[in-house]
Amino acid sequence: MSKYLDDWSVGEMFLTPGRTIGAYEVGAFAGLTGDYHPNHTDAVYMKDSIFGERIAHGLLGLSISHGLMMRLGIITDNSIALLGIEDWKFHKAIFFGDTIHVRITVQEIRFSRTKSDRGILKLFFELINQNNEVCQSGVKVLMMKRKTVEEQI
């Protein structure tokens, strides 16, 4: 169930379901973005690379991390906007066939001083592969709805 900002606690942690990344996801992302770099689309080119095979787009991992969070149902009708992404790091490549999930930890909660119906939620994301290796990490900053004044009492 979607949570109001008032219902979150710093340190609270969530684990998303997993998702396997394959040629379809990478091809669809390349088509949507126009990023057909050979790192993602040319198996022969990548055979002699430091990776030894094609890798997923880094931004595909970041995007899928957001989608995996949505599958939890904790941020749906009570979110107002994604305000930013802070300190996002790409630690390890995501390979075709990797199954990834996300560990989300509440980092900060800040109620607005001027608008009692909203505030800021900072969530630390760790995108983790099937070997329990962190591939990407960073903070997503969301503007969230608060409970009404009556509900807060």
Q: Looking at the predicted structure, is the pLDDT value of residue 153 above 70? A: no
What pLDDT score was predicted for residue 149? Answer: 60
Q: Looking at the predicted structure, is the pLDDT value of residue 119 above 80? A: yes
Q: What percent of the chain has pLDDT over 70?
A: 96
Q: Supply the angle between the helices 23-33 and 58-71 in degrees, to the nearest 10.
A: 110
pLDDT tens-digit profile of 23-76? Answer: 999 999 999 999 999 999 999 999 999 999 999 999 999 999 999 999 999 998
- Categorize the per-residue pLDDT at 150 as very low, low, confident or very high, splitting at 50, 70 and 90: low
